Amino acid sequence: MAPQLDNYFKQVDDLQDKFIDRLREAVAIPSISSEDARRPDVVRMGHWLADQIRALGGEVELRELGPQPGREHLTLPPCLLGRYGSDPKKRNILIYGHYDVQPAAKEDGWATDPFTLTIDDKDRMFGRGSTDDKGPVLGWLNVIEAHQKAGIEFPVNLIMCFEGMEENGSEGLNDTIKAEAKKFFKDADVVCISDNYWLGTEKPCLTYGVRGCNYYSLEISGPGQDLHSGVFGGVAHEPMTDLIRVMDSLVDPDGKILVKGIADLVAPLTDDEAALYPPIAFTMDDLYQSLGSKATIHDNKNDALMHKMRYPSISLHGIEGAFSTSGAKTVIPAKVIGKFSIRTVPNMEIDEVNKLIQTHVEEAFAKLGSKNTMKFNIVHCGKWWVADPKHWNYTAAGKAVEKVFGVKPDLTREGGSIPVTLTFQDELQKNVLLLPMGSSTDMAHSINEKLDKRNYIEGTKLLGAYLHYVAEEPTN
């Protein structure tokens, strides 16, 4: 395998400008799944990706998923089901990724246009979706192209599943996976997903868990319309005052969840598990670097890692309807909608968590004695996932990391969520591996998201090397 891989790596290096152009084209399509007006762009992105795969000789179906549940005026973007190769003598590797992105606007504070890939003098490639998840998805396409150009036989058959709603709760995908588990996905031997990040900037990792995410909105309304605070301040119950009190009651400034019963659902920390964290190559400086400040709740590495990987957290995301532009408007908003979510971990069940959260916010609102009205809404829920990192899928990926980067990878659990990971594992009964390309400083979901050129190019080598090792790894 060694000469073949070296040949492949050389080809990836030779093709790097073409691969960067491919990413540039993808970033230019603003495929924001959570904004209604961008839905045509999400669909356009799905078609662009399908065309790219077809041009490389893959077969693609863009599976329509119908209307978006609860927002039926919107059509869900298609799920891309693809294949590359069908040799019965080869293993079948199912790869998943997403072609939608988080919202982004220059006014949010981006230094450059978020939909123009901009490379700086440190070879950082800035653009929305560069690391989450267009770069990694295109990494798989780059792997195919480099094999073709190098004249190297492709080591496996690829089964592809690329969705356009991951950043919006993966609506519609669970049903597709369930429906296709014994059809389109039936031959999959293992699953590989590249959609998370290294813990630092230098050392790759293999990831065997993600936290779940239950997302909520709280609508509080009262006045018939927005009011003058000089005329109605001190007279009317204000929705914003109520909302801030209710949201404040969820979590304290040290991240402690204040919802009764949540802590009891969390799996106790065993000595064996506690021993997993100290050997992970991660420092508080790595954390300060990725955070962009020293404003951490915990000041030691192990606590910080455990609170990212194995404890739940509640985050307050925003308030729709609140006065938020610059200036000093003396308004009382008539209706405000607070958005918050909880990241869940073993053994928290979605329904139990929802019940505890709903009871908590209803009690907190009742305590205010406000004459306003509150509506609690569950926006979407995805469960946590933990896999067996001793599986041969992980052994193969570990060998690929050593080959490309010359180090043994850390084994990590991701603080973010990829809702369909568990669905793949449960429905296909196959091992799932997360094999990240990007680093901790990539700022996914934030302003100035980027992917380092090194991570994109070496990451493409890693995905290809993984396919070679996983093709040959003995089963355990």
The one of ligand LNQNZP67, Zn ion, none whose footprint includes residue 215, by CB under 5 to 8 A per kind, is ligand LNQNZP67
User: By C-beta, is 132 or 442 nearer to Zn ion?
Assistant: 132
Q: Is 45 in the site for ligand LNQNZP67 (CB under 6 A)?
A: no
CB 260, CB 250: distance < 8 Å: no
Binding ligand LNQNZP67 (rule: CB under 6 A), the pick from 33, 118, 417, 455 is 417
Give the pair of three-digit tokens for residue 209: 């868990």
User: By C-beta, is 41 or 133 nearer to Zn ion?
Assistant: 133
Binding ligand LNQNZP67 (rule: CB under 6 A), the pick from 315, 392, 416, 426 is 416
Q: CA dist 404 to 152, 154, 396, Å?
A: 18, 18, 13
User: What is the contact mask toward ligand LNQNZP67 in residues 74 to 113, using x (rule: CB under 6 A)?
Assistant: ----------------------------------------
> Segment near ligand LNQNZP67 (CB under 6 A), from 59-67, 161-169, 300-308, 324-332?
161-169
User: By C-beta, is 361 or 418 nearer to Zn ion?
Assistant: 418
Contact set for ligand LNQNZP67, span 215-244 (CB under 6 A): 215
3-state secondary structure of 159: strand
Q: Give alpha helix (H) positions in 30-87.
A: 39-55
CB 145, CB 56: distance < 8 Å: yes
Provide the annotated active-site residues: 100, 166
Q: CA dist 365 to 77, 148, 217, 305, Å?
A: 37, 62, 14, 34
Helix H or strand E encompassing 464: helix 453-472
Contact set for ligand LNQNZP67, span 113-152 (CB under 6 A): 132-133
Min. distance of Cβ 173 from ligand LNQNZP67 in angstroms?
Answer: 12
Q: Residue 348 and residue 306: Cα distance in Å, rounded?
A: 16
User: What is the contact mask toward ligand LNQNZP67 in residues 9 to 38, using x (rule: CB under 6 A)?
Assistant: ------------------------------
Q: Which of 33, 20, 66, 29 is nearest to 51 (CA)?
A: 29
Helix H or strand E encompassing 160: strand 157-163
Min. distance of Cβ 132 from ligand LNQNZP67 in angstroms?
Answer: 5
Instruction: Please report the sign of the dihedral spanned by the C-alpha atoms of residue 419, residue 424, residue 430, residue 436.
Output: negative
Binding ligand LNQNZP67 (rule: CB under 6 A), the pick from 29, 177, 418, 420 is 418
Helix H or strand E encompassing 247: helix 239-248
